[in-house]
Amino acid sequence: MRKFLFIMRYSPWPGVIPGECLDMAMTVAAFDQAVSLLFLDDGVLQLQTGQIPPARYRGRVLNPVWDALELYDITTLWVEQESLRQRGLDATRLLRPIQLIRRPDVPDLIAAHDRVVSG
């Protein structure tokens, strides 16, 4: 079993990258690999509660999909705390319980995984 880290770096819409990255993470996990997620930069916005996309938005809304992570045994989620602070987000009010990591500790987290996918 390899340890995969998926780094979520983009805001939840309008791009397709977060949804594709999440699908990839769930697929890899369904192949019995250990999968963790790290939310960094604008990726922390994916964890914001009360997201309402504009009416004209026709893409995927990811909020309900987070509940599916446990089906695929993806239980280790990290969020980088400076990214949260820069965007005025409160770590206690995110969509899911999540472990905080300081920016200087991110390289060690990355180094502790066998495969890293950034999306």
Partner 1 sequence: MVLTQWPADTADGGWPTTTAEGFLCDAGFWNEAVAIHLARGLGLELTAAHWEIIHFVRGYYLRYQHLPNMRMFVRAIQKELGTDKGNASYLHGLFPDSPLKQACLIAGTPKPPGCI
Task: Please report how close the Cβ of residue 90 comes to partner 1 at its closest, in angstroms.
Answer: 25
C-beta neighbour count of 86 within 10 angstroms: 12
Q: Which of 16, 61, 100, 112 touches partner 1 (CB under 8 A)?
A: 61
Q: What are phi and psi of 55, to 5 degrees?
A: -55, -35
Q: Which is nearer to partner 1, 66 or 116 (CB)?
A: 66
Instruction: Give the number of other Cβ atoms within 10 Å of residue 79's Cβ.
Output: 23
Of 26, 47, 89, 101, the one binding partner 1 by CB under 8 A: 26
The least distance separating partner 1 from the CB of residue 57, rounded to whole angstroms, comes to 14
Residue 112, sorted as left (phi over 0), alpha (psi -120 to 50) or beta, turns out to be alpha
Q: Does 71 bind partner 1 (CB under 8 A)?
A: yes
